[in-house]
Amino acid sequence: ETGVTQSPTHLIKTRGQQVTLRCSSQSGHNTVSWYQQALGQGPQFIFQYYREEENGRGNFPPRFSGLQFPNYSSELNVNALELDDSALYLCASSLRSRNEQFFGPGTRLTVL
Amino acid sequence: GQQLNQSPQSMFIQEGEDVSMNCTSSSIFNTWLWYKQDPGEGPVLLIALYKAGELTSNGRLTAQFGITRKDSFLNISASIPSDVGIYFCAGQLSGAGGTSYGKLTFGQGTILTVHP
């Protein structure tokens, strides 16, 4: 069974740029959730995707957007990057009917 | 937004000691999850709880879903050096319907240090 994978591992961008992060869900999982984890904090829910549609969103502005593909993999896009967007971005996959979410290793984004 | 109050913030213990940490909230949760996160990695699921009063074990770890559905605790018995890490509680709110389905609210974490 393949676990959740994310790419890239690390990324450095400058303010105003755009970034795309990628996630492959665990085999058999049809739901993907994205979280932002600032240093020293717990993860904060960004949004969740099921059947290629956004299914719930946390307190993040519209410049955070996402996609889910037919194979259940997902992308997180962030436009007009700000310094405060520097964080570990975590992807978690799950079954639609279950609350247990399994996390990938994360992408460390640094905005300069 | 909703918050989970997790305590203690950090613990320094000797190898072999037992550990207890907990999470409380003013809101009712229908699911409690406990995760462990090592530096530079994603959280790893340890235990999932679905019913009020439920007590579940996973090896040396035991967690309980509080009767009021507003709290949960995690115990680690006979700690070993590899227990070092950050432990997070996470919950899903009850009664919010499909719009928050799957949204997990996390505590601030408990940093555990185990001295050999």
pLDDT band, very low/low/confident/very high, at B59 (cuts 50, 70, 90)? very high
pLDDT band, very low/low/confident/very high, at B99 (cuts 50, 70, 90)? very low
Cβ contacts of B92 within 8 Å, gap of 6 or more: A99, B29, B30, B31, B100, B101, B102, B103, B104, B105
Residues on chain B touching A58 (C-beta within 8 angstroms): 1, 103
pLDDT by residue for chain A (112 residues), tens digit each?
A: 679 999 999 999 999 999 999 999 999 899 999 999 999 999 999 999 999 999 889 999 999 999 999 999 999 999 999 999 999 999 999 987 778 999 999 999 999 9
Q: How many CA atoms lie within 13 A of B3 on its CB side?
A: 6
**What residue of B is the nearest CA neighbor of A40?**
B108
Using CA atoms, how far residue B76 sits from A104, B38, B40, B108, B109, in Å, is 24, 16, 23, 19, 15
Q: What is the pLDDT of residue B95?
A: 58
Mutate to test the interface with A, among B65, B104, B108 (most CBs of A within 10 A): B104
Q: Please answer yes or no on whether A56 and B101 come within 8 Å at the CB atom.
A: yes
What would the pLDDT profile of B12-49 be if each residue is shown by its tens digit? 999 999 999 999 999 999 999 999 999 889 999 999 99
Q: What is the DSSP-derived secondary structure letter of residue B102?
A: T
Q: Does B98 have pLDDT greater than 50? A: no
Q: pLDDT averaged over chain B?
A: 91
